[in-house]
């Protein structure tokens, strides 16, 4: 799931940010030989994401700590569920506590928000996908959280596919010209997606034989017509201004995918705590 080396580099940065020179509180209050056992608990129902990284935070800070995962990312748990057990030097557990909780709370929040959107389109053919509007440095983890919540990942980065947007089209002069340029150098297994703002552009995109057509900020009635125009000759993605109260109507237009930044940008962190066993 996670690249351990990349994850460790992130964890080191997080710990340096939070600890500074030392955890002054534990240094003046907790003796070096004091030990303790602690549980990371769910304080509300949730879909879990990030607990494996949270466990890694404790072990990265102090490899002598005994850390046991009681759940896995993607599990749905009730309030009171034990997510992680940590045992060992009390100083170490208390110093790493906040960093571990922060990442699990953030990622589980994304998983929960994703699940809300997925549930809202249940029974339609549409699948929920994420965007590149993620927290800098946390993209892979946040996209993993989306998958824990039942969503799909769009491009992981700019090198994962060719998406021709309005500014690309403006530079090239037309959709046809933009697609022709892209086709000359497009890797053979790479998909080509084009963004369309209106039905005229949809006709142009279909004629250009692209793989995916994105309907950007289109009214519902235009989306219905666009799906009919495309007629299965390309996958259809709806994007732009998607909200929990509008996504169902969009899904019912017949699009294949719905992308939204709300599941990463507007997700609320869940309540997870660390308590003594």
Residues classed as catalytic: 98, 133, 165, 195, 216
Question: Tokens for 63?
Answer: 């490899």
Q: What number of residues does the chain have?
A: 277
Integer Cα distance of 246 and 258 in angstroms: 11
Would you call 151 exposed, middle or buried from its count of C-beta atoms within 10 A (0-12, 13-18, 19+)?
buried
CA dihedral of 138, 162, 115, 252, whole degrees rounded to 10? 160
> Beta strands of the chain (E only): which ranges?
35-42, 46-47, 66-69, 76-77, 82-89, 127-129, 162-164, 192-196, 212-216, 235-239, 257-259, 272-276
């Amino acid at each position: 799931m996670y690249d351990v080396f990349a994850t460790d580099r992130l964890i080191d940065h997080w710990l340096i940010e939070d600890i500074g020179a030392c955890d002054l509180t534990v240094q003046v209050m907790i003796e070096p030989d004091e030990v303790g056992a602690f549980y990371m608990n769910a304080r509300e129902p949730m879909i879990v994401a990030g607990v494996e990284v949270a466990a890694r935070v404790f072990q990265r800070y102090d490899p002598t700590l005994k850390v046991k995962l009681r759940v896995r990312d993607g599990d749905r748990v009730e309030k009171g569920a034990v997510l992680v057990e940590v045992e060992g030097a009390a100083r170490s557990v208390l110093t790493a506590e906040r960093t571990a909780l922060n990442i699990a709370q953030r990622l589980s929040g994304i998983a929960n928000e994703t699940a809300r959107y997925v549930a809202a389109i249940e029974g339609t053919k549409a699948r929920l996908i994420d965007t590149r509007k993620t927290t800098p440095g946390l993209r892979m983890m946040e996209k993993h959280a989306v998958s824990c919540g039942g969503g799909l990942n769009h491009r992981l980065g700019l090198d994962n596919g060719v998406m021709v947007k309005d500014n690309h089209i403006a530079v090239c002069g037309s959709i046809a010209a933009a697609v022709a340029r892209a086709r000359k150098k497009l890797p053979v297994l790479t998909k080509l997606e084009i963004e369309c703002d209106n039905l005229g552009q949809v006709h142009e995109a279909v004629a250009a034989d692209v793989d995916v057509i994105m309907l950007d900020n289109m009214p519902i009635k235009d989306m219905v017509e666009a799906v009919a125009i495309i007629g299965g000759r390309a996958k259809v993605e709806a994007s732009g201004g998607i909200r929990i109260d509008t996504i169902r109507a969009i899904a019912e237009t017949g699009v294949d995918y719905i992308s939204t930044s709300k599941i990463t940008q507007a997700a609320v962190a869940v309540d997870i705590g660390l308590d003594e066993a």
